[in-house]
Amino acid sequence: MSKKISENPSYQRLRTEMQQAEEFRKAIQLLDPTGEKFPDLLNVLNKVPEFQKQLEQIANTPEEFNNYYSERGWIAYESMESKVIESAIELARVGRIDDGESVLVEYYHPEKLKFRINYIRGVKEFEPRMRLIDLALDDYIGERFHACVPVLLMMIDGTVNDVTKDFGLFAENVDISAWDSISGHENGLGKLSKLLSGSRKKTNADLIAIPYRNGILHGKELAYDNIAVAAKTWALLFAVRDWIVARRKQKPKEKAERTIEESIEDLRKIEQSNKLLDKWIPRKIVLGVELPKTGTIDEYEANTPERATMQFLFYWTKKNFGKMSEMIVRYENLGLTNKKIAGELREAFETLSVISYELLSIDDQAPAVTEVKTSVTFSKANVSVLKELNFRWIYMNRDATNIGRWERDGSWFLIDNFRLEVSMINLTEK
C-alpha cells in the first residue's frame, strides 16, 4: 500500500499521461500557431494545464491536511467538502490550527449532519446499524456526547469487522487499505486507527480532544464527552463509509483505463453533489392541486418517490410480487434475493386484494429519503378494509449506495417497514 497518494499507481499514470499531453500541446502549437488547422484538438489540449493543477491538488491537499490534523484525530476522505479541507489547511499554514479545528467541528454541526448522514444509509454494512446510528445522532443533537461517542465507536468497529470478516478498525492486524482511495491509505485511516487504538491503561479524568477507542469503551477516559471528540467520531464514521465504497470497487486487474477527463469529472461530481446537498430543501407538495391524489402512473414525474409509490401499488393490484420485490431494499449478504422477497410477499399478502388507493402526503425527509403516506382499501374474504400505509423510500445507485435524488443513475427503493403494517390487517381481521 502506498504511503502517499502521489505514490499511487493510478495517480502516477495520470500524471504521466498529462505530461505527455502537455508536450503534445506544445508541439501542436508550434505546428499551428494560429489554431486554425486543429481547433478542436487544441480546444481539448488547452485544458491540460488546468487538469494538471487539479490533479496536483487531488494528490497534495489530502496529504497536507493529514500532516497537519491526523495527530489531532482528523483525516481527509473522498466525500468531505474540498473547501473545508482547504480552509483548515490555510489556517494551519499560518499557525492557527486551533481555528482550523473549529472550522472542522462546525462542518459536523447537527443541522448539517442530519442531511449528510443519509450518505451512510445506502452502504449495506451500515444498514442494520442505522437504528443505533440515528439514536447517536439524536444524542449528538441533544449534546449528550457521553452517549453518542461510544455507540459510534462500536458501530464503526462492527462495520469494519463485517467488511474485513476478521478484524475491527482498531485491531492490530486490520487491513484498511483500499485501492485508489483517499481515506484508505496509510496516512489516512491506517495512521488514525493506530492513534485511536492506543493503550489507555491509566484512568484519566482530564479533558481529552481525541476519541481514544480503548480508553473510552474500557472506562478509562472519563472526560471524553465533548463536541470535539464527538465531531471527530462522526468524521471517522464518514471516512469509513468512503473506505468501504472504495474497497468494494477495487478490482485493479479488471479496471478499465480511465482518461484524464474521467478522473477529473469524478472529482467535479463529488464537489457538485456536496453543493447541491447544502442547497437542498424539501418540497412542499399540495396533493389534489399540484399532484393528483390518485391517477395513472404517467401523471407523476419520472424517478420520484410518489411515482414509485403509485407503481408499487399498481403492481400490488395485479399481485405481481416479483415486480414488487425488485423495488424493495434488501441485504444481499443475508441472502435476501428478489425471488425470496417475492415469495415472502406472496405468502404474507396473497389473501389481500387491493381495491383502491390514494396519496395522503409526501414528506421529503432528506436528500435521499422520502416518506409517502397513502390510504389503501383492501378486500379480505369479501370484507373491505381501509388502511393507512407509510412507504419510506430511499434513493440509491446501482452499487446500492445512497445518493442525492438529483443524481441521474439512481432509483427509489422501498424500506420494507410497510410489511408489518399490512400483516397486522391479517391478524386483526382473523
Distance CA 242, CA 116 (A): 13
pLDDT of residue 358: 95
pLDDT of residue 40: 64
pLDDT tens, residue by residue, 154-174: 999 899 888 877 655 655 555
pLDDT of residue 218: 92
Which residues in the chain show pLDDT less than 70? 1-60, 166-187, 249-274, 330-336, 398-402, 416-430
Nearest to 65 by CA among 36, 30, 91: 91
Distance CA 291, CA 394 (A): 21
Q: Give Cα 57 to chain centroid, integer Å.
A: 23
Q: 268-284: buried (b, 16+ CB within 10 Å) or exposed (e) per residue?
A: eebeebbeebeeeeeee
Nearest to 401 by CA among 180, 244, 285: 244
Nearest to 396 by CA among 3, 36, 121, 64: 121
Q: Rg of the Cα trace of the chain? A: 25
Give the fold, CATH level 3, of 297-428.
Nuclear Transport Factor 2; Chain: A, (3.10.450)
pLDDT tens, residue by residue, 45-65: 666 666 656 555 555 678 888
Distance CA 39, CA 34 (A): 9
Q: In the structure grid, which three cell numbers stand for residue 364, read together?
A: 421529503
Angle at 383 between CA 380 and CA 386, to 5 degrees: 85
Ordered DSSP codes for 283-333: ----BTTTB-SS--GGGS-TT-HHHHHHHHHHHHHTT-HHHHHHTB---GG
Element (H, E) at 354: strand 353-366
Q: Give Cα 22 to chain centroid, integer Å.
A: 36
Element (H, E) at 247: helix 227-248
Q: What is the 3-class SS of 377-409, one letter each residue? A: EEEECCEEEEEEEEEEEEEECCCCCECCCCCCC
**Domain range summary for the chain, segments of one domain joined by +:** 5-278, 297-428
pTM score, two decimals? 0.54
Q: Would you call 219 helix, strand, or coil by DSSP?
A: coil
pLDDT of residue 342: 82
Nearest to 360 by CA among 285, 281, 283, 282: 285
Q: Give Cα 363 to chain centroid, integer Å.
A: 21
Nearest to 400 by CA among 183, 119, 81, 129: 119
Distance CA 85, CA 374 (A): 43
Q: Give Cα 124 to chain centroid, integer Å.
A: 11
* Sheet containing 353-366: order of strands: 353-366, 369-380, 383-396, 411-415
Q: In the structure grid, which three cell numbers stand for residue 163, read together?
A: 467488511
Q: Would you call 357 helix, strand, or coil by DSSP?
A: strand
Element (H, E) at 375: strand 369-380
pLDDT of residue 356: 93
Q: In the structure grid, which three cell numbers stand for residue 227, read together?
A: 463536541
pLDDT of residue 281: 87
